[in-house]
Structure 1
Amino acid sequence: MAYPFSTEQTMVRNRWYIAATSDEISRDPIERTILGKVVAMYRKENGDPVAMYGICPHRYFPLAQGKVKGDALVCGYHGFTFDHTGDCIDIPSQGMGAKFCQPTYSMEERGNLCWIWMGDQDLCDTALIPPYEDFGLNQDGWYDSSYNYFHMAGRYQLLIDNLLDLTHLPYVHHHIPGGDSLAKTKNSDSERDGIFYFTRDTVVPWNPFHQMVYGESAKYEGLAEVENETAFYGPELIRTGLGFFRKVEGSTNIPAELGTIHIMHGITPETENSAHYFGFAVRNFRIGDKGLDNFWHASDSKIREQDKIAIDAVEKRLDASVELQKELLVRADAGAIKVRKRVQAMLDLETK
């Protein structure tokens, strides 16, 4: 078994994962390992993204170190050429192709994200991509910004656990005002349309961080009652946020028109013990405000870097620690435990 699951396989394969942001993929091939496989990605002449197994079958040279010619990928070692479907269409030393097809993977570009399916092709369905309308991406009246990326030297489930248990905020993200309020909250959960929602009710002080996000017009004092919701769409995507502010105790109230900001966490397993972490934000206020974009990118990147440091530290000794000591689970782990069970059910379907 591989922590924290009861199966040796820990990566769910029959999901759409973020392979790259749109601006990462061009006519110059790039390489990224996803679900344990090296993938070379590039764009065809019409702009469509292509994902191909990234190791040449001749001498096992990385295909991303080659070049794109037309819609085909040319290996940079001996010139073996594979069209966008994977067919080997040219071997220069022989003056012909070969009856060989390099594996390729379905890709779907939506907005600024390129999704990849590397599981059972018979189960591949673009309707399984997380619903953009639930978090505002590519929707009227919403605006996405502040994209960032981190490589995690830790298994993807550690990041999922981290996002489902925000009691780490005052310790890992101690620079954020009001984090102490999340150390103990009233929690509840629900499921709608296959999405797991975990909600925390708490009271936080209105502080300079909120002021910076919502702007000069949002000048308030006192305490804000907040409903903070985490949405688990699957092991590939999680939504968090600043929360839904209901009121400020005291002389002023926070109006509903403050707006909503969704903090998005794209999680793509690299190997059994490492992951790609894509971040961005979607909001319905201060649309196009570059000052807020820059502030959010800097703040969000700092927070994600702190999570990376913690998760990487856990992974270094995790397997040995699990052998020596049983994991201590507490009430704050309620959301993470329920999500682990959901992921385990997905793994069971793929391994039975």
Structure 2
Amino acid sequence: MSTPKPSTFPRNTWYVAAKAAEVQDQPLGRQICGERMVFYRAQEGRIAAVEDFCPHRGAPLSLGRVCEGKLVCGYHGLEMGCDGKTIAMPGQRVRGFPAIKSYAVEERYGFVWVWPGDREQADAALIPQLQWHDNPEWAYDGGLFHIKADYRLMIDNLMDLTHETYVHATSIGQAEIDETPCKTEVHGEAEVVTSRFMQDIPAPPFWQMALRSNGLADDVNVDRWQICRFTPPSHVMIEVGVAHAGQGGYEAADAHKVYSVVVDFITPETDGSMWYFWGMARKFNPGDAAVTEQIRAGQHKIFSEDLEMLELQQRNLADYPERQLLKLNIDAGGVQSRKIIERLIADEQAMPVLQAAVA
């Protein structure tokens, strides 16, 4: 008997599975943590999620339709309930049909959140709070990428922004990022923070645009900050911005700065692929839709550059699995984040053993 491959992602936790707007009249099939799921709107528009597997002939339920809040298989018309139990099938008795897996799922902040593990452990209170959602002082927009790379590579990427100097040289990169040391701290058992504060430097093109959009001069030096916060299972929020130099930097009054949070929800699809939900919540000039679109387009270009780098990095790592990678001080944020992920996985794997011992 072959030894099962160890898991590379926690399951008893909340992941972003989709943007809420993706789940409307038709079911949405998506693979999360190696499991094929189908998301749909049941009675009264409530989000539901079950295994994407019809118990009749194994057809994907995501190829079916939603009728009066019921998920109908597109192969032979089997009707599936939110609890994974078959409701009915034209001309057939379905009482003996085996149930399929159903998932704890929540719609919040414009996203669909799913708990891939034991639904009895799912607690909606554990979904992170997003202060900027539906807040008139903030504006938000973003997108979704499917990336053929291990989700942990994206966490490494976001917890070490030194790469901006090279990968994003024409937008947010500048030499001062390399020249300014970063600081990494671990807060408790579930947060890693890597921060970098740059003083009295020129603003790169992206931040010049942001300053102009907020009615601020873009041809003077600025103080710039990057504060990357990892929380499990794979969420990274990055406080970013610039203020006119000498006005207090990160603590400057709103009249002298542009402040945003880069939103990164990284959801593993398989061991070598991910769903990457990205966006920017900004706390300046929130009512200007043109600025919102300009920032979204700029982010799309920036993250497209990351996509290419990560997919080719994944290819190299797959081709040379025996090679040991170097770990430098700039890698501390990613290293500490991975330690938290590894601990969560180990705790989940130990739980069945502990339960069996107690029984």
TM-score, length-normalised on structure 2? 0.88
> 1:30, 1:217 → 2: CA distance?
42
Matches within 5 A, 1:158-237: 158-176=153-171, 178-192=173-187, 194-203=190-199, 204-214=201-211, 215=213, 217-237=215-235
Residue of structure 1 aligned with 2:21, choices 7, 20, 23? 23
Q: CA RMSD in A?
A: 2.1
> Could you say which residue in structure 2 is the equivalent of 1:266?
265
CA apart distance, 1:234: 1.6
After superposition, the Cα gap between the structure-2 partners of 1:93 and 1:246, relative to the gap in structure 1 and judged at 3 Å, is same
Deviations 1:11-39 (A, max 9, x none): 11111000110100012111111111111
Greater CA drift, 49-58 or 190-199:
190-199
Deviations 1:121-178 (A, max 9, x none): 2321112112223xx2344522222x21100100100100010111111221121254
User: Any gaps of 5 or more consecutive residues in structure 2?
Assistant: 351-359
> 1:177, 1:141 → 2: CA distance?
24
Matched, 1:335 2:330: no
> Could you say which residue in structure 1 is the equivalent of 2:286?
287
Matched, 1:243 2:238: no
Q: What is the number of residues matched between the two proteins?
A: 338
CA apart distance, 1:189: 3.1
Amino acid at match of 2:179: K
Instruction: State the secondary structure of the residue aligned to 1:217.
Output: coil
> 2:126, 2:244 → 1: CA distance?
33
Instruction: State the secondary structure of the residue aligned to 2:140.
Output: strand
CA apart distance, 1:315: 1.2
CA apart distance, 1:240: 1.6
After superposition, the Cα gap between the structure-2 partners of 1:293 and 1:109, relative to the gap in structure 1 and judged at 3 Å, is same
> 2:173, 2:38 → 1: CA distance?
43
Give me the identity figure in percent: 30
TM-score, length-normalised on structure 1? 0.89
Q: Extract structure 1 runs of 4+ deviating beyond 6 A.
A: none
User: Any gaps of 5 or more consecutive residues in structure 1?
Assistant: 1-6
> 2:315, 2:154 → 1: CA distance?
14
Instruction: State the secondary structure of the residue aligned to 1:196.
Output: strand
> Could you say which residue in structure 2 is the equivalent of 1:277?
276
> 1:268, 1:72 → 2: CA distance?
27
Instruction: State the secondary structure of the residue aligned to 1:333.
Output: helix
Amino acid at match of 1:186: P
Greater CA drift, 70-79 or 234-243:
234-243
> 2:80, 2:214 → 1: CA distance?
56
Matched, 1:153 2:153: no
> Could you say which residue in structure 2 is the equivalent of 1:143?
139
Deviations 1:49-82 (A, max 9, x none): 1111111122211111111122211111111111
